[in-house]
Amino acid sequence: MNPGIKIGPEDGIEKLKKSQAKYCEIWFRLDWEDKYIKLFQYLQKNKINFGLHFWATIDNKYFPDFLCLEPGLAQKTLKLLKKTIDIASKYNAYYVNFHPESYRLAKLDLDNSKIKVVNPKLKINKEKTFNQFLRYLEKINKYAKKKGIIPFLETVPKFMPSDFKNFKKGRLKPQLSEGLETEKFIQLTKKNYPICLDLGHTQAQVVSDNRKKIFNHLYQSAKQMKDQIGLIHVTTNIPPFNGTDSHNGILEKDFEKGALPNKKQLKKILSIFKNKDIWLIPEPPHKEMIENFKELKKIVDKIEAN
């Protein structure tokens, strides 16, 4: 297992120096490409392995989405994802991670970290939307393979927060976006598509106060998809378990808030992947990244030593 950190363009080099991490995922906003060049050069010079997490807006207005049937949305999303794959290939990245996203259209304001689901009550033809997604997923995988990039498809929550910068506030007003169900991801593993298991997102497919039920969904899903999971976003959720994630970390203060999975459960999940060549990227609050990375390394060392 390969623990790493998640970084952005502003202080990525500083965090890499402080943490001495040899693996990292970059929060990559396509319209900010020039801001990442120095970071890419540093990564290449210091032989640090990295992947890109795809972020963009469609027509400066909408969340990228391969599921939603809004005319032109999936095609425009594919165009921007291909550009990101091109950049990843140019700088010798290992992967590009992307969301399938949701059955419903959502507006996205990246500058202010705001999301608004356009019509949360619209009737959805899920079979039609999923079939559309399968067609695009095939195109993505063929293109990424040609460019030497692994396209990790990330598990997503059922609901979206209204604000993803201030999760504490934004997730208390969940919006029914209907992110792609975990069961669909399990189907995709049978077609050998590479998967990113986001622990917080996967748990958030279950809206319940029953902690055992939520963890069981996460654990069983991880076991069923384990052969195709090459990347894990290590994160926890705190109550309320309302279909959104909370991006909490794996420190004692998180577990004191009732974070799920708890520390014992986290070790149980990660033990599924013992001695596997898999990347583990924490996703706590930005300022707590290095502390969480160090804690993750300790947990991984203990798992692999036993």
29 has which bridge partners?
Answer: 55
- Residue 222 in 3-state DSSP? helix
197 has which bridge partners?
Answer: 232
Residue 165 has pLDDT above 90, yes or no: no
Residue 162 has pLDDT above 80, yes or no: yes
pLDDT the model gives residue 121: 87
Domain residue extents for the chain: 2-305
pLDDT the model gives residue 81: 98
- Residue 33 in 3-state DSSP? helix
**Residue entry with tokens 């996703």:** 283
287, 293, 299, 304: CA torsion to nearest 10 = 170
pLDDT range class, residue 120, cuts 50, 70, 90: confident
pLDDT range class, residue 306, cuts 50, 70, 90: confident
pLDDT the model gives residue 122: 87
The 10s digit of each residue's pLDDT in 203-256 is 999 999 999 999 999 999 999 999 999 999 999 999 999 999 999 999 999 999
pLDDT the model gives residue 167: 73
Are 26 and 50 spatial neighbours (Cβ–Cβ below 8 Å)? yes
Query: For domain 2-305, is the CATH number 3.20.20.150?
Result: yes
Mean pLDDT calculated for residue range 175-181: 95
- Residue 253 in 3-state DSSP? helix
pLDDT the model gives residue 114: 93
Residue 3 has pLDDT above 90, yes or no: yes
pTM score of the predicted model: 0.97
**H or E element that contains 148:** none
pLDDT range class, residue 166, cuts 50, 70, 90: confident
Phi-psi label, residue 110: left if phi above 0, alpha if psi -120 to 50, beta otherwise: alpha
**Alpha helices for the chain (secondary structure H):** 12-19, 37-45, 73-90, 126-147, 167-170, 182-189, 199-203, 211-225, 252-256, 263-271, 289-305
pLDDT the model gives residue 169: 84
